[in-house]
Structure 1
Amino acid sequence: MLPEEIKNLIGKYQARTISETEQERLFRWYNEQARSATSIDNAEMQIRLQRIAGQLPALKSKPVRQISWVKWAAAAVITLAVGLAIYTSQQRDHPLDIVVQADSTQAAELVLANGKVISLDGVGQGDTLDADGSKLYKTSDGYIAYSFDGDLNEASQNYSFRTPVGTETKILLPDGTRVWLNAASELSFQKQWAVENREVHLKGEAYFEVSKQRNPQGRSYTPFKVYSAGQAVEVLGTKFRIQNYQEELWSTTSLFEGSVKLEILASDNRVDKAVILKPGQQSLYNHKSRLLDFKNISQDVPQSWRDGYFSFQGENLREVCAQLARWYPVTFDIDAKLPNGEYHGDIPKTYSLNEVLDILIHDNMNYQFSNKDNQIKVRLNRVKK
């Protein structure tokens, strides 16, 4: 049961009437409680975590959202940050010192059929860029719009939008479909696109808002199909996200509106199995075992990356580092003996890697970091006998 003083402080916090001194007291108590070991089971742990989050929401004016870590042995919840106030007032006694040399020249790109690469960084609002029979321009809401008006003999050649590490882009396709392309991803399609078919090929992660389009006869709608490693997703008009990085074991398809048909493909691209997803469902496909599973999702959490956040929904440290390596120009070498834990919450992508790791790695986690030539080694501290 919460102490009466803490109940009063929580009430003031939610009403925005809390003083600075009272807020520091509340945050200090909150972190002390989160660090204390417990013997609760996993179900009760999740209930407590949700209860804490509901009683003490992050301030809207602060950039860090709730970040928590679930201990691997005892079912203890350690809350690492709730709003910028906790991050700044609960600094580590020995902060990390991971200096990364970033590549400031990285930008989203269009790769032409002849291999020429055009940087999209220089396409400003109102500009029109001619590119090998195609036109690019930036819309008022920040999308790179694409259209083809070149030689029809070259219509079947492929173009690709590509986002190197640390970059993202928004694309408006000729049929009105909007695509958010996440970091380290690639979207490929034929130059004359959406005339007879609407097919794209995806490597990495993208969020789609698909526009309905009637076929040339006007009698029905032309399907929109996304091919990625080992699977295909077919829709008419809907909102969904695909995450299918080739270096990861699992790929996911998350549906937010409409319906999609998910096809699992055999090695010869024949359809091995097909399922229909409903809004609020996510498929999880294991490339190695070919296991297909499903879970329910919320409407907004899996899209946090579009709002400028790293989003962690139960990933362990290895999975978290894989996400960070697609944004910062680093690789991670992680000790195979590292215990598994879970991270929950969001951190702004505007933070330096050092700041992100400082939030994620708590003092009582027995980890050691070192960096050489942008390869970060994560090791367990060895206990001296």
Structure 2
Amino acid sequence: KGKSYIKHIHSNRIKQLIEKNRFQATSDYSYLKEVDCIIICVPTPLNTKREPDLSYIQDTTNIIAKYLKKGQLISLESTTYPGTTREILLPKFEKRGLKVGKDFFLIFSPEREDPGNSRYNPRDIPKVVGGITPQCTKIGETLYEQIVDQVVVVSSTEVAEFTKLLENIFRAINIALVNELKMLADKMKLDIWEVIEAASTKPFGFMPFYPGPGLGGHCIPIDPFYLAWKAKELNFGTHFIELAGEVNTNMPNYIVSKITDALNKNEKCLKNSKILILGIAYKKDTDDIRESPALELIKILKEKGVKIYYNDPYVNQIPKLRKYDFNLKSSPLSKNLLKRMDVVLIVTDHSSYNYEWIVENSKLIVDTRNATSNIKINKHKIIKA
């Protein structure tokens, strides 16, 4: 139909490609036997035990195997633990009697995307490619050279898989560090944001990371658990990585404790209070709610008897998800709505919000993103969390 559900991919662009007969969407898997290259981009979530759920990859691989033909290239882009491409995809394809590197080609090339970041487009971001065999890698390199300016060739699919995990675990661990330091600074009655700003003036040896209400997105909150799970197969404990995961996972509970304390100081109980959440997306100026800490915050607050409202200019309604089913719609932002709320909780610092106006018309603000840092008046209403 030419309608995009992804904010940064415009419907007009899709319509143009359809009109030129360069793009076709279908749910008919028999088309797989007509193409030269197959790129797998399916979710890789965690199960209820916080272990890798590879069911989407396995189901997709089973379908592709039915239609696999000689000469095809299959590229897995879904984030996963080292060994997935070789241990799960390869055996299913070779059962067809085809030889990898000769009859078909198999690579791993991790997706690299930063939603909401207009500085980079897909062509600008280097693409890592690792194949099961050198010929697989060469064919994969040829494919992605048509799409990106720089292809980074590595020695194996496992190296490519590990590369993606390193990128995201690096961020997860550093965010966990500043989240823990934020909680310590709060006890010391210091502003961690001011500390980070001062530290950032050092021109070498320091890279700023910023605290928040928890990790979000389809990769960073999940990837540490993928590698930790794989490490256990090798009888290796990833204590540092797992601890970072625990710190980040616990941040919504910390935010709720800050809300509770703020209400208590105003002689108000958390139960039966009315809270407006600003921002449901996991990242500012996007519509992506996957693994958003706002969802866990809503769950915890509702369990404690809080009446929840939310506003997000990019998310009109929270759909039913694997772990959450809230049946909530975005409430139009107005003076009346703000004045009715006991707490306005800033979870996502969308650029379109007028924070001065929001603070002016609210009783109490709990700010998890330092979005109100430039507010000069009514600062007594603001609690940083």
The alignment's TM-score, normalised by the length of structure 2, stands at 0.27
More strand by share: 1
More helix by share: 2
The alignment's TM-score, normalised by the length of structure 1, stands at 0.27
